[in-house]
Structures are given as C-alpha cells and as structure tokens.
Structure 1
Amino acid sequence: MMEEHAKRLHPIKIPFEFWKLLKGNVFFIIMLYVLNFGSEKMYMKVLQIGFLVYLVWKVISVILKWYTYKYQIKEGTLYITSGLVSKSYRTVPLHKVQNVQQRTTLFHKIFRLTSLTFETGMTGDQGSVPFEMISRKEAERLEGEYASKQEIPVNDIPEERIAEDMEPAIEKTIHFTPSKHDVLKASFTSLSFLALIPILATLYNTLDDFIDLENAEGFLAKLLDTWWIITIVIAGLICVAVAFGIVSTFVRYGKYEISSDHERIYIKKGVLDESAFSIRKEKVQAVEITQTIIKRVLGLAEVKLISAGSTGDEELETNTLYPFLSIERAYGMVEEILPAYKVERSMRSLSKQAFKIRMLRPSFFWILTTLAIYYFKPSLWYISLILLVLIYILRIMDYKNSRYLLNDEFIQFKSGSLETSLFITKRSKVIQIEVERSKLQKLFGLATIETINRSKPVHHTKLQDVSVEYADEFYTWYMDRTKNIQFE
C-alpha cells in the first residue's frame, strides 16, 4: 500500500549527480584520457580501464539510487525506502523535526525546482532528511504536512494566545529587510572586496601562460613613472574592488528577510542562491550575539540562534540573523522575535582578583615558543617579547569585556578579546552545568562556570574567574530549574 503512493525525487537529480561525478573526477579524467591519450604503457591502460569501470559503476548506482529512493507521509510519519538488493527502511515522525531548511540554487531555478531538508535532533547521518530535487509545489506540501503535526507545549504558549482563547495566529511580521545603506555597510564590514585579490592573481597567472608578461611589465613600469597615471590606476582598482564587494554582498544578502509569527521564526536570503530557514520558537535553546573588532568599531553585531536540531549546511549560516545589524537593533530584534527572552544591557564585571589571576596565569604557548626560539634561533629573541606583550594585551581586553548576570530564569555571559560573544539562555533550556576550580583559582577565591545546551553539536559556554560566591549562586539558580522545567 505504501509503495503505490510513494514518491520519488525529480528525475533531473540524475543528470545533476552525473555533473557532480564529472566535476569531482575532472583531474583524473584529464590525466588519464587527455594527457595520456593513446599511451602504450601497460599500467596506464590498466588505470584507464579501471577508472572507466569505476565511472560506469557510479553512473549505474546513481540511477538505481534515484529509482529505489521513495518517500511517503502517512499519519504524521515520514516513511523512506531505498536500496535494490538490500532494502533500507526509515521512519521519521514529523513532530520530531526541529528545523526546516529550503535552498534554491541557480541550477534549481533553471528547472523550477528546490531542495528541502528536515532537521531532527539526532546525530550523524540520521540527523537530517534531505529532498534534494523536488518541485516547489511539493516542497510547500511537505512543509504543510510538517507544520500540521507540530505541537506546542502548554508552558510555551504565549499568554496573549491563551487570553484570546487560542484564536488563529496572525500573519507573519517582517522584522528586517536590508536597505541600500545596510548593503553598503555590509560590503565594507565583511571585507568582501578583498576577495578580488586572489581573482586578480589567478587571472595574472593565466595570462602569463599566453602572453609574455615580462616585457609587458617593463613597458608598464615606464608607463607608471607618471604620477597621474599611477593615481588613475590606483583609483580605478579601488573602484573595481569596491564595486566587486558591493555586488558580491548584494548577491549574498540583498534579499535578506527576517520575519516571525506566534510560533516560528523565518529567515530568507540570497539572490542567485536562495535559502530559507524556519525554526519553532520553543526549539531555540539560546541566543548568541557576536562582534568582531571591526563590528565593535562600527557598532554592528551578529545574532545567532542556537537550536536543538542541526541547521544544515554551515556555509549557509541559516541560523544567523542578518550579520550586520546595529548593536541596539540586534538587542531589540531578539526581544521582538523571541518575546520569552530578555537582553539586559547592564551586567556585572569580573573582580580585581580575576584580573590578578589572569596576569599571573602562565601561558604554555609562550613558554614553548620561547624555548623553540632559544633553541633554533636565539637572535630572534625579540619575537618572544612581542608575543608576550600581545598575550597580555589580549588578556586585558578579555578581562574588560567579560560580564555575567543572573536575571530570574535567564543567564547572560559575555567574553572575548578581539571578538566578543554575548550568550543568553533560559534555565529551562540548560541541560547541564559545571563548576570547576583550579588550584590557582582556589587561592584567589574564584571559579569557572559552564552551561551546556542541547544543540548539534552540544553547545558549551564557559566563563572563567567568577567569584566563588557567584558560582554558588549559579549552582543554586540551576537547582531551582524544577520550578519551570520544560520537556521536549
């Protein structure tokens, strides 16, 4: 019965897999069948025949894999079968799906297709269920099936929904779409214009194979003796680099959209390569607000949602809100899309004892580097001194940036030197805590505290050198979690 209604992925997946096969083996194809075409050497003939057999086997396996892979949703459960000789069966209850990710590459757009991935909380290959080539209509149907089987724990239903006697949720609220000014700021902050340098270097090396650049360089050297030509060339290169940075940033972030409704958060981005990500609000385990040194100077920040399930391809950064929000907008947006979370601006700093211990704590990296310099190149002794100064500068910066706060059921950590990270989570989302004290920390009355949140992989957040009194308060705070513990 299940087999009669089961569906396959779109047939275009077969040539797509063929293309990936050729792209992944282009080096061997050129070496064996282009550069060594007609070779009389026996080992080369064996390699050519062997690789040809391998390619034929891969082509057949691609076809069989597509033909035997079938899926069906029945009574809220996703059933997947695959394999010809050795059948494989997999069942995934839709209420176990944590996140949904959709990606539409340029290849998908050409054939009016898309890809959809259901992310579960499981580890390994069982953690995701990908539908790599399906129609957009089919993707909407699968998302609709998923949405209809999600259940919200009573503790997570907003009070306003209860007061309205559980009336249907309002339409999605759009919280952010980047303006032209935002794209410009992003292009400079991300330093995307620097990506032009390796492109120009590659172009130079390619031209060098066809043109005698040595004579050309001599001609250019004479030409560039004129100051106004140098000025024009430099200005031209700057304009090209800036334009390249703006275009590449627009392609990546130009159609960014952050929206939400009562139950989910939605993130869309990309112009040529589109991706969409949705996550239920109760699945958000924590929020992390990071700032690089450049973003701190410009007052920008990046907000990441730490969720119970995987968020797909790391390169897509699908769980990241717009990475170039102003710091105040970042704080405000967290509270907008996650009303259950609060971000406190004022936090407690570390004690003077923490500063002392950080100045006294030995740096084994510096010790080993100094020994290596002393042994191999004593004349470079000044490198050891420079390294020591840098280490202490970073320690001082980390000390000044470190903050912490317990606020009812919330906890906030902030730390970092060149890059800072503000971590916010609820007590009910913390699955484990650790309190550690080294011998040196015991002398100064300090401790290291750590929270562990469910994620993929498990997310650890640590703050060093808090007072032992605060560590005790932190332990007591966590032990009170039974008052509002939440099961997922």
Structure 2
Amino acid sequence: MTTTPEPPPAAGERRLHPWSWLFVLIGSLRQFLLPLAVLLVYGGRREENYQLVVAGVAVVVLALVSVWRYFTYRYRADGDSLFIRSGLLERSLRQVPFSRIHNVELRQTLLHRLFGVAEVKLESAGGTKPEAQMRVLRLDDALALERLIRHRGRGADVVDADATDAGEPLLALSTAEIVRLGLISNRGMIVVGAAFALSWQVLPEDAYKPAFNLARREVFGYAEHFNGSWSSTALAVAGVVLLALALVRAFSVLLALTRYHGFELREHGRRLTVERGLLARVRSSVSRRRIQAWTLREGILHRLFGRRSLGIDTAGSQVGDGEQAQRDPPELAPIATPDACDALLRHLLDGADWPPADWRPLHPRAWQRLLVGDAVFAALLAAGLCWYLGPWGLLGLLWLPWGWLLATRHARLSGYRVDAKLVAVREGWWSRHWRFAEIDKLQALQLRQSPLDRRFGMASLWLDTAGAGAMSPPLRMRYLPEAEARRLHDTLAHELSRRPLRW
C-alpha cells in the first residue's frame, strides 16, 4: 500500500472488483468451516449425509448472493459526498458526506495481496457498523478513495498539501520492539484459551481424555524416574506449567510479529495513518479532530521493559451487532518508551501540558474505601474454604494483607488534573493507566455517590465522550472529597454549556 494514484473522477459510477463475489463468498463461509469440519470428521457415514447436502446447497446459495452483490453494487464520489447504490429487488441509495467519515480502513489479507485488491471500511460517529464496507476494490482504487476522503473531508475546495506525499513519520516499530510487545501482551493466552473453550464445546466429550491421560502418564512417569517423591512430582508439574507458559509467550510473540510487522504511524496534515501487518496488511486513517479520548497503559511487564502503550477512542469505535466486539481505532503506539509516548502526545495535543506536574490527590481515606471490596472478598473466600477445609479455611484471610497493599498503593499513585484544555486521570498500581480527554470533547458528566461514599464523605465524577470503546477504562475521578467533587462538577458543567462540542 505505497502507491498514490489519482483519485477517481467525481462523476461516474464504479463497480467492485470482478472477483469481489469470491471474497464475499469466502468471508461468508468462514463461520461454517469449523462445524463443517467437525461434521466431516465425526459425522455418521450414512444417516447424516443429508447434512452435507444441505451444506452444499447453502454454499451454492451464498455464491449466487455474492455474484448478485457484485452486479448490483455501485459507488461514486460527487461533490462532498460518497453515493452507494445497491440492491436489485429492494434498491437503496446511501449518501455519506466525506466530512462525516471518521475512520477509513484498508485491509489486505494474503489472498487480497495475491489478487491486488483491498477491502475498504468507512466508519462514522453515529453507527454501530461501518457506513460502507466495500469487498473488494482494486488496490489503486482503494488508495485513491482513501486519498479522496482525506482531501474532501476538509471541504470540497480545500487542497490538502500533504495528501500527495508519504506523510510525516511519527513512530515506527522495529522487530525487537514487536518481540517485546509479544512478550508483554497476553494475546497468545487469550487465543489459546478461546480455542480450547470452543473446541471443548464442539468436539465430543471424550476427545480430550486420551491427551489428558497421556500428559498425566508422562508427568508422573518422569517423576518416578527420580524416586517418585512428592518433591519430584511437584518439580515435574512445575516444569510442565513453565513449559506451557513459555510456549504461550512464544505464540504471543508470533502473533505480535504477524499483526504489527512494519508498523508505521504517519501524519498527513490533520489526519493520522497507521499501517501494519505481515500476512494481512491493514491501513487505518483517522482525523485528529475525531479523537475523543486517550489512554496510556502500563502493566507490570511494561515497567519491566520500560515501555507503555498509547491508544485512542474515536467517535466511530462503538460496539456493534454482527461486527467484531469492538471496531478498534488505530493504535497510535502499541509499544513505546514513556518519553516517546509523552513526546507524541505533546505533538498531537497541540501544545497541551503533558505530562502534568501537579496531580491532585484523592480523598485521604480513599485507601479505606478501596479496601472494602477486598475485605468482603477475603471474608467470602475464607467462609467458602472453611466449608470444605474446616479451620484451615481461615487461611483465606491472608488475602487481606495483599488487598491492603493494593489499596494503599492505588490510592497513593492515583490522581487527577483539570486545566483549561485537558481533563486527566491516573489510576492503578499493579496495572496503571492514564485516561484523559480535551474538555471540548466532553459530552456529559455525572456526580455519583454510593452509600459507602457518603459514609466516607467522598464522591466520584464520571465523564462521557463520544465513542468510548468497550475495552477502554472509563474516564472518572473516583473518591474525591465531596466538596471538591461538587466544585469540579459545577466548573466543568459551566464549561460544557458555553463551549461548542468538537467531534
């Protein structure tokens, strides 16, 4: 995705690529692949043949629908809008103004790259699914459409001087950085766990028994080789667990290399573009003014490697039915040093004071409020263990010292900052995050008090922006002194009432 062809003419309709029906068919068949494979492997030889016939008929119907879509789908750029016409029996004409398109995503799987095509998704703020999903266009047509949106989105008569070049590079990840990202992330464990859970539901009940029995025999057989003592058995089990964890981490590194190979963040005028991927190449583009909130993350492994990650919420990143759990906006920095993240933020926030030097603390008794949840959990844990183990179950109360450490550290490191431009919050100790947004992007605020909050004389302030992602932490100022929380609420409410919403 490196060429910069001329944009398509404003007048004249264009079709999808002639092979688009094939990619639509493949995409539709993905959800049937696993059940069909299970049917072929574990299905009966005679009595279930009708299921294969039904599956064959479904494939034929999907193929006809895909061909139908190719012949009825048209798009054209005219003036300041993109017009999309589809349907044969029930026809529709959809108009999408360029200024309303928040995110543009170009995706190329390995098969797309072999055919020289790309899938294009256009997302706006209001929908729970893409405004348009074009499967598929020729690569030069897809790039031209992206360039046209970047140009026209700022006004039909405005020429974007940066649209013709490669853009200004802001961040690039080396292979070593991507390996660090794989070691830090838990993506491999999530994928393995999801695959195991899915196979457990689909495969027959006794499918895993031979594997479990073989693993048990190997582990105990290895322990018996060293006289079969309990310490040898424990070492053998620990060795198997460590080996499994190492393999999962190696898988996470492989996934990171596949997903983030060639990661580049570039700036084209007021628009940011992220390109990444080894087998499937993805190019996402978002306008800077569409960014609603920012999130800096730092887990325990991040600190071990001296790294952080920077993500954003845009107005088009909501959860949608039939789509993936969250349509993630471009990741500005999946991994970077703290100094690199801070420099990137100062550049993109137009001179905002970052990082803040004077964080405001929480209520002096905030650690006690945080400890309440851990105390309740420790009591329930001890009660449950006592039910099964008798007096030994009181060992569950040992959770209290750990909870006290978490609560005190969390309360000490948490804080907030409000200035003329930004609202920023930092939370956590073991796993930390910084959540912040421009005041002009705030849509609503709430003052909350639970009965416990009133007992401790504190309150929390929750702030809403457009398009907060399902995986993003909430923007909230928790456990502030009640008078301070009410003062902040009144100040921000006044600012929201007099400032126009920028999104």
Q: Counterpart of 2:7?
A: none
Change (3 A) 1:209 1:93: same
Q: Counterpart of 1:486?
A: 501
Q: Counterpart of 2:136?
A: 133
> Is 1:66 aligned to 2:70, yes or no?
yes
Matched residue count? 461
Q: Counterpart of 2:440?
A: 428
Contact 2:98 2:153 in 1 (8 A): yes
Q: CA deviation at 1:281?
A: 1.3
Contact 1:196 1:244 in 2 (8 A): no
Q: CA deviation at 1:392?
A: 3.1
Q: Counterpart of 2:97?
A: 93
1:2-401 paired onto structure 2 within 5 Å: 5-30=12-37, 39=46, 41=47, 44=48, 46-125=50-129, 127-151=130-154, 168=161, 172-190=167-185, 248-310=255-317, 317-346=328-357, 347-360=359-372, 364-375=376-387, 378=390, 381-382=393-394, 384-401=396-413
Q: CA deviation at 1:437?
A: 2.3
1:409-428 paired onto structure 2 within 5 Å: 409-428=421-440
Q: CA deviation at 1:450?
A: 0.9
**Does the residue aligned with 2:417 lie in a helix, a strand or coil?**
strand
Contact 2:446 2:461 in 1 (8 A): yes
Change (3 A) 1:179 1:167: closer
**Does the residue aligned with 1:139 lie in a helix, a strand or coil?**
helix
**Does the residue aligned with 2:123 lie in a helix, a strand or coil?**
strand
Contact 1:76 1:145 in 2 (8 A): no
CA distance in 2, matches of 1:254, 1:28: 32
CA distance in 2, matches of 1:361, 1:217: 42
Partner amino acid, structure 1, of 2:346: E
RMSD between aligned alpha carbons?
A: 4.4
Partner amino acid, structure 2, of 1:142: L
Change (3 A) 1:286 1:22: closer
Q: CA deviation at 1:482?
A: 4.5
Change (3 A) 1:194 1:51: closer
**Does the residue aligned with 1:412 lie in a helix, a strand or coil?**
strand
> Is 1:453 aligned to 2:476, yes or no?
no
After TM superposition, the score normalised by the length of structure 1 is 0.79
**Does the residue aligned with 2:309 lie in a helix, a strand or coil?**
strand
CA distance in 1, matches of 2:24, 2:162: 41
Q: CA deviation at 1:301?
A: 0.9
Partner amino acid, structure 1, of 2:409: M
CA distance in 1, matches of 2:251, 2:50: 47
CA distance in 2, matches of 1:446, 1:408: 25
Q: CA deviation at 1:148?
A: 2.9
CA distance in 1, matches of 2:374, 2:188: 40
Partner amino acid, structure 1, of 2:95: T
Partner amino acid, structure 2, of 1:186: L
Partner amino acid, structure 1, of 2:170: H
Contact 2:383 2:394 in 1 (8 A): no
Q: CA deviation at 1:333?
A: 0.9
CA distance in 1, matches of 2:171, 2:371: 43
Deviations 1:239-281 (A, max 9, x none): 9998776555333323111121431122221222211222111
Contact 1:184 1:246 in 2 (8 A): yes
Change (3 A) 1:37 1:64: farther
CA distance in 2, matches of 1:77, 1:453: 26
352-361 or 325-334, larger mean C-alpha shift: 352-361
Partner amino acid, structure 2, of 1:185: R
Percent sequence identity over aligned pairs:
17
CA distance in 1, matches of 2:51, 2:30: 19
319-328 or 8-17, larger mean C-alpha shift: 8-17
Change (3 A) 1:52 1:193: closer
Q: CA deviation at 1:325?
A: 0.9
Partner amino acid, structure 1, of 2:467: S
Q: CA deviation at 1:425?
A: 1.2
**Does the residue aligned with 2:15 lie in a helix, a strand or coil?**
coil
Partner amino acid, structure 2, of 1:434: Q
**Does the residue aligned with 2:464 lie in a helix, a strand or coil?**
strand
**Does the residue aligned with 1:84 lie in a helix, a strand or coil?**
coil
Q: Counterpart of 1:161?
A: none
Change (3 A) 1:481 1:106: same
**Does the residue aligned with 1:324 lie in a helix, a strand or coil?**
strand
After TM superposition, the score normalised by the length of structure 2 is 0.76
Partner amino acid, structure 1, of 2:489: Y
Change (3 A) 1:142 1:21: closer
Q: CA deviation at 1:151?
A: 3.1
CA distance in 1, matches of 2:454, 2:460: 11
Partner amino acid, structure 2, of 1:8: R
Change (3 A) 1:188 1:111: same
Q: CA deviation at 1:438?
A: 2.8
**Does the residue aligned with 1:356 lie in a helix, a strand or coil?**
helix
Deviations 1:309-366 (A, max 9, x none): 2289668854222222111211111112332543234212223232333345675544
Change (3 A) 1:313 1:267: farther
Q: Counterpart of 1:408?
A: 420
Q: Counterpart of 1:160?
A: none
> Is 1:477 aligned to 2:491, yes or no?
yes
CA distance in 1, matches of 2:256, 2:469: 29
48-57 or 448-457, larger mean C-alpha shift: 48-57
Partner amino acid, structure 1, of 2:450: S
Structure 1 residues not aligned, in runs of 5+:
158-165
